[in-house]
Chain A
């Protein structure tokens, strides 16, 4: 995309005349801000951009973006967006969804979008709770969580959305945090640059029903010690002085290294063919290990829409047929 003839965009250009109706203090506000910042930086034109959502607090997002927007039904945004992208690959198609929408009721569409590598940019707001229906546990809630629908604590085990995405063949899988604005903006920009399906899981605080869900590793005081920023080509280091590292043992189990062993820290390759290192990071214990944020995986792979359009172009080049020829085909005969 060149800047020639394309108006320079500012954050405010994406704001709509609609009153934003998330609860005061909701993490969604900072995500909206980061997305508008990223879109302005990328010079996204309003009319070329489509934002499609499902149901839930996050899915109100399209109403607050001055682009084309479609607020659809619960869980189905990736399916509808696939129809949009397949019909018009020139459009810049974004899906905004949440952990209930994408991991639960719409899990099937979420994984199949990745299997096909449709050029959708999926922003999945994960607050580990159902917000719009007022506080039931979600498929990413930690086991034992006490909620309105689990007064004795949940029995369910949670999904790791990153692991699920990797398992479904996701070609761009990343994680950001609502309150880490610049980093999140960068994740959005990098997702935008990816040709196939890009998934960004965004840790988002629901201050009403699950306040402080990520406090233990995102608060300013603990952030340096508890967050592991993945950087392509760099060793996995964390801590205020980058004096701790993450390595893998012979069985590919993660382990912490420091001091003289710091050099054993694993050098991160987001383009690695094997998803195993990314999977190991996505599934390691949140309490024992630092929490990774950044790009877990980025692989180039032909997209669904390109494959589809190529087939059509090839078929058209190979066979031209009028409507008459189509109808008057096979064994035909004349009477009278």
Chain B
């Protein structure tokens, strides 16, 4: 795309936030910009932030939906803290998001709806355009509604439908500003609305008009170019966390030679897992939309019992409902994968906002001594590997595995270096072979190395046996209430989970394995922690960071690693749950850095916190 007579400036990164009404198509707009940008070779990270209400009243503050993306010519770890560019489609979006825009940042403001009523709905006493609120920003006012209507004057669509194309007009402006090729979006729109040619034509016309408007009017003086990032060679695909997790589970099931069975009940932000897996029937995937969360996990246990890979997906409130059945899976010693896409709680909480406060629930939230393996995904692409790892552990150890994700990972996206499917390791699964006549099958005879019991599929001759939630004698599986047996079984179930640690590779650190400060993390704060750590390392500080994928059992070298540092700091989006676990297990003074506001960490906040820690340690920081 040529940029005539205008200034073209190179940037190494940009952060853009689209904000508008829930009905303004901000998620779609952000998604299109993301796809285009990924295809142009930039590294990219995204953060959709939308209300739980499907359509809150138009123009109000609770109805504001936003999509932030950051793209760069270098390796990035987060979707950025403060945006460089804010697109605000109405006064409410302006009110909610302006305070985060960088000073001197670009504000593209839709002036179409600034009537007294619009301002009132956004809780503005005065028009922010005239009271000085916008000073300090490079504001570009465009009546997107009017411009879009003009551009679509010949469209057979009605006024309302034409007006709805204004997001594409805004996208066109942004494409010009950031020197993006609109071709991928043209293709995507044609696919999305393929059966409605008028709609395709209108959307594309609006986008092209926006592009042309930016190119020709004088308000836009500069276009920006962000060159591609030097990424590892390979084939990439932009992926969201829920998608990657599904693919990891399907790949794991295939490598294990198992049919995947998902029992699930719709819940934000986990429902997309059910949606996506239900589209994989051609891969033999069975999905079961159950009558409730409990039925969902129970059906998955039934599927595992009959020799499939039973999986259930939910969010925190669903885990609360599934807890009793998870205990049954512990007792029955069957493979089961429980996915918890965490959201802000307690109770219904804030369904679309992120949090990591279910860790203690999945660790300890069951009656009795009920240990399960707990894994955590830390980025959208990482969710693939974690899903695959969950399959490996569940089948090898005949045990439930909880996978923790969160809303930020689930809906965020990043470029994913696609693995070679042939190079993915096989997951060996051996069902118990048919029994000899007259020989009684022993359902709890264990593999001495893993302590896993045999997986005996109903339908196999000579293996009939009974299992259940009652305590049973080891080896025979008969009901047994003997004191010594119960002690032995409790210890055995715990040891079986502990044994998983033997498989784990040493922890990787960013930075040396000793120094002043070790920043530990798990789950979605990974990006913000990495970015903050790298900046402090550049300032010469002795800080390293490491991330835990396995939360139960913990890696064997974690205790030793923590001893190599004067301070261990653990940022997490809860009130210090992993910090509490580590303090109790290792008697190390792990310092929790807690944030529970429904938003992901900003890397600068973590950096500021770490600087305070260094100050406490008496380390001088060169600015």
Contacts and interface: CB of A to CB of B under 8 A. Distances in A.
A91 B458 contact: yes
Contact of A68 (B292, B310, B458): B458
Contacts of A69: 464-468
Contacts of A74: 324
A316 B261 CA distance: 16
B511 interface: no
Contacts of A308: 286, 288
A228 B421 CA distance: 65
A327 B418 contact: yes
A46 to B, nearest CB: 5
B237 A329 contact: yes
Contacts of B304: 83
B458 A327 contact: no
Interface stretch (B33-41, B353-361, B518-526): B33-41
Interface of B is mostly: mixed
A315 B281 contact: yes
A334 B466 contact: no
A121 interface: no
Nearest to A316: B282
A74 B325 CA distance: 10
A220 interface: no
B469 A91 contact: no
Contacts of A108: 291-292, 295
Interface in A287-325: 308, 311-312, 315-316, 318-324
A88 B459 contact: yes
A328 B459 contact: no
A50 B464 CA distance: 9
Given A47-B459, A50-B458, A87-B286, A331 B295 contact: no
B284 interface: yes
A104 to B, nearest CB: 14
B116 to A, nearest CB: 44
Contacts of B306: 50, 83-84, 87-88, 91
A252 B464 CA distance: 49
A328 B304 CA distance: 29
Given A86-B286, A108-B291, A326-B250, A335 B328 contact: no
Contacts of B286: 86-87, 308, 312
Q: Max chain B CB contacts within 10 Å: which of A50, A76, A329?
A: A76
A71 B233 contact: no
A80 B301 contact: yes
B558 interface: no
Contact of B251 (A86, A90, A323, A335): A323
B308 interface: yes
Contacts of A109: 291, 294-295, 298
A243 B396 CA distance: 67
A73 interface: yes
A67 interface: yes
A84 B458 CA distance: 9
A324 B466 CA distance: 40
Q: How large is the interface on B (under 10, 10 to 19, 20 to 34, 35 or more residues)?
A: 35 or more
Nearest to B246: A326
B231 A335 contact: yes
B39 A333 contact: yes
A333 B467 CA distance: 50
Contacts of B39: 331, 333
Contacts of A80: 298-299, 301-302, 305
Contact of B299 (A83, A316, A324): A83
B407 interface: no
Nearest to B467: A70
A83 B328 CA distance: 15
A111 B457 CA distance: 28
Contacts of A279: none
A316 B468 CA distance: 35
A333 B39 CA distance: 6
A13 to B, nearest CB: 11
Nearest to A112: B291
A88 B298 contact: no
A334 B236 contact: yes
Contacts of A320: 282
Contact of B41 (A46, A112, A329, A333): A333
Given A69-B467, A73-B325, A321-B283, A79 B231 contact: no
B345 interface: no
Interface string A59-70: 000110011111
B190 to A, nearest CB: 14
Interface in A1-24: 16, 18
A85 to B, nearest CB: 8
Contact of B234 (A83, A327, A335): A335
Q: Max chain B CB contacts within 10 Å: which of A86, A87, A112?
A: A87
A87 to B, nearest CB: 4
A321 B279 CA distance: 12
Interface in A65-123: 66-74, 76, 79-88, 90-91, 108-109, 112
B281 to A, nearest CB: 4
Nearest to A74: B324
B588 interface: no
A101 to B, nearest CB: 13
B128 interface: no
Contacts of A81: 302
A48 interface: yes
A331 B38 contact: yes
Contacts of B459: 47-48, 88, 90-91
A48 B479 CA distance: 23
A121 B304 CA distance: 20
B303 A83 contact: yes
Given A71-B469, A328-B418, A333-B38, A86 B299 contact: yes
A79 B41 CA distance: 48
A80 B41 CA distance: 47
Nearest to B308: A87
Contacts of B284: 312, 316
A336 interface: yes
A183 B530 CA distance: 72
B259 A87 contact: yes
A152 interface: no
Interface string B390-434: 000000000000000000000000000011011000000000000
Given A79-B298, A109-B291, A327-B251, A63 B479 contact: yes
A250 interface: no
B416 to A, nearest CB: 9
B328 A332 contact: no
Given A86-B303, A321-B283, A332-B418, A71 B251 contact: no
A87 B231 CA distance: 43
A79 B295 contact: yes
Contacts of A321: 282-283
B263 interface: yes
Interface in A128-148: none
B72 interface: no
Interface string B235-278: 11110000000010011001000010101000000000000000
A91 B467 CA distance: 17
Contact of A47 (B299, B303, B458): B458
A84 B39 CA distance: 44
Contact of A71 (B281, B290, B307, B467): B467
Given A47-B462, A308-B288, 15 more contacts: A63-B479, A71-B468, A76-B294, A80-B305, A83-B298, A84-B302, A87-B307, A87-B308, A88-B459, A91-B306, A327-B237, A328-B235, A331-B35, A334-B236, A335-B235
8 contacts: A47-B462, A71-B469, A80-B302, A82-B302, A83-B263, A88-B458, A90-B459, A326-B247
Return the 6 tightest CB-CB contacts between A and B, nearest first. Answer: A83-B302, A71-B468, A336-B233, A83-B299, A315-B281, A79-B298
